[in-house]
Structure 1
Amino acid sequence: MKTHVISVENHDDYISINDKIIWAKSPRILLVWPDHGRVRMLMSDLILIIRKAESVGSQIAVVCDESDIVDLCKQVNVSVFSSIPEAQKHAWRRPKKTRRLIRRSLASGNDTRLTELEKLKQKDIWLLPNWLRIFVFLLSLISVFSLIALFIPSAEIILEPKTIPQQINISIWANPNVQTVNLSGAVPIKKIPIVVQGSIIQKSTGVERVPTQFATGIVEFRNLTNRKIEIPTGTVVRTIGDELVRFVTTKASSLEAGIDTKISVPVTAINAGADGNVQANQIQAIEGEIGGNVVVNNPTALSGGVETKVTAPSTLDYEQARIKLLDQLNNEVKDEFLQEDQSDLFLLLDELTKLDEVLIEKLNPEVGIPSDQFELTMEVRYLVSYLSLTDIRSISTQSLITNLDSGFSLLPETLIIQQEGTPQINSNTEEVQVDITVYQQAIQVIPENEILDQITGQSIDSAAENLAKKFESVTINIQPGFVKRLPLLAFRIKVGIDENGS
């Protein structure tokens, strides 16, 4: 078992030794007396040390060779050893009970300090005469019954408040420039963006000419030099003027040496269509390296270029389709808006719903591309205008409060707003005017503190009579039932509302 060793110094007394015992925190405590010098110790000191050890759950033993200390320890049955190793090897005796030691010490009268302490404990503290004790006892009974009379009775008062209907007519006017609700009837127009998309397919009504055949003919090259000129296949010749028409040779040729030698070469228009049908003497330019040594001309007209008429979407086709598609999307905006949470919607202003921005617009095919039909796809954003139910409730409540009787408050769950007639909407100025009728119940306010001040301590009948003058009905329940008056303490009275009645 763990043993804590405490070295006792010459200057120690039972107080300092007890402090060391408190800090020891061990089941066994060994007090070791000093080898030199003396420690003064009385029976009362040793008893107090034993008591302190017992209070912290420890057992004590002593290592000492002083005869007076050894004798004291034997009297209280505390083990005494000659050395620390001996104390750790042998079993320790349990000290005698401290109460028995105190009685024995008192009987001997040797320890005056212990005698005075014990006598003070045993001294009778009731020094009052008998008649005063009886008076104090009766006074205590009266106090107890007084407290019972104050705190035990409790009362519950159930009141049914009066209710009165409230009604008011309000002319609402709204426009986007109004920012907040005010009592003059102005409310803001709310706007929410809604994105919709759709497409439309229609027949093409435009007509386009599509080149289908190439113009052909003969051109004549004339040599301007004294050397032979080679004219390869694919040599480009063209007309002159604002609108150039190009042709290519379809056969390689050789222009003999000598000034003004000539050769005729077949050509074909580079682009199909009627533009290649040029008159005689219109082709006069050569593109390429030989252009400075040779001149060209078409002695006869070129022909054979043909264009075929086909249908294709025109600009007008797409403009008309755009109008039709936007009209369809405008109708879809309302359905899209109503599919969202509309708990705050009071009035949807269809006339003020406007196109805000075209986000995507696709033409398939483009204008002028041959096709019997075309498709227009659009994604657009609209601004949907409406009047907020929150704003209408706010202005309705404010208007009712200004006309409310004193001592009443509005019941929020009874608010009813009814639109009167058709709203007047100006699409140009975006101003809206609408008339509404507002209905709401007002309930009597119950001033609990004021009621308690008036009825505390009154009889049940008197309190009920006074309260009946102000409220629809009054019910008073008091506990215990034999008490005929309301409690004197206000906190013992509970005031409630008859919700079923109101």
Structure 2
Amino acid sequence: MKTQLLYLDPYDDPASAREKLRWVQADRVVLVWPSHGRILRRSGDLVLLQREAARRAARLAILCHDPDVRQHAQRLGLPVFDDLPSVTQLTWPADSHRRPAFVRRRPLPQRPSALGRRPAAGSRSARSDTQRAFWMLFVIASMVGLVVVVGPAAIIELPVATSERSASFVVSFDPGVTSPSAVALPGRRLRVEVEGEVQLPTQGRVLVPSARATGIARFTNRSTESVVLPEGTGLRTVGTAPQRFETTERALVPAGVGAEVLVPIRAAAGGPQGNVAAGAIVAVEGTLGLQVSVTNPEPTAGGAVEMRPGVTPADAAAARLALERRLQQQANAELREQLREGEDLAPGSLRFVQELDSEIAPALGDASEIVQARLRVIAEGLAYDRVQLAAAAASALRGRVGETERILPDSIRVELTPRSDTDGAQYQAVARAMSLPIVDEASLAGALAGATVEEVTRQLSELEAARSPSLRLWPAWWPRLPLLSLRIRTIVVPVVP
């Protein structure tokens, strides 16, 4: 005979299990319970499944480890298996061809009366009606009382004027301190290397050579042979500021001692310094100076200068200052990336501690319409914990308020100013915060519990700290405040004057 395994799911109910049985096409059906979850645990569920299997002309068996299901199945005469191998190895009990079982209800035991006989039907009915009416009234009264006590709710808003308090104290952020104290808070030194360059238009003007001086040099032969003077032969003056000249063309000094030749010359550098007096040029560069002598029979002339945009000390200083400001912004951004959660940079702590490289180009005095500055430095900053600073500020502010006031923690603001006499090691801190009078919300709610709206309005108007208090009731038509103080919520609203 053909046996079919039908697996149940943890969410199956009698209806879904019967739907699965409708698709059975075997003579024997084994319902396999899931390993997790407890389903179809009632005897009536198995009866419905047994009837559905009987309609399909199939025998029903159970594979389950639930003791309740196994017990119900055995009472109904259904085969019960422990695992899958036993389904094929064990012999199914013979089919008795009996009809599916029906679940019969057990009759309720009768309660004997005190006299050994049943009470009259009329008296029993009257007593039952009385008891039902009593319990119904009791439940209704309990619900009404619960609604009266727990149902209503009230919200009291007390606008309270605040006042500003301030305190001044000295604080230092020391990297060597591990725990906060009255005068020092832990700090961290942060370092970063930054570099950059900047170009600015020059604002100054400098004298720039515009023309070179020219003239005539006379060469005299000191030997008996002719001497060739190549173009560009160097000549010099003597003195503390010698000037250099060059010949502008090739020349030949005739042979013979005392032979002369005139050659045009030009100053090597532009400017009026090339305008020298007659006879100032007396030296020939190189070995030619041993063969010929030189002089200028006439003064040289034509050397001149003109004013052009150029690099002045003011331009260099402006470029350096602009670059330092840019690098400070860059260092500030990079140092903030190193901050931990809750930290901040101490104001004025950012400084350049080491200059690695710097350059100003062009050089001072050079003609140029722009000046370029390059700089590479190591910047250092000091990090501190904002929470620890706020705690120190709150401690300083407590001495400024009385016992009837309290400081609003979210309103604390601290301004730090570096002290010039401590080289950035200490800061003058000014803490400011808003304070407001202390209102005992629990006592106020207890005093107003159960009072009428008129009484509450009168009592709230007598509070010195509150300004124009408001009352909201739920439901709005309820004449009194809740009897439970827990259902009264008092909200203190700070008001800035």
Alignment TM-score > 0.5, same fold: no
Structure number with greater Rg is 1
- TM-score scaled to structure 1, two decimals? 0.42
- TM-score scaled to structure 2, two decimals? 0.43
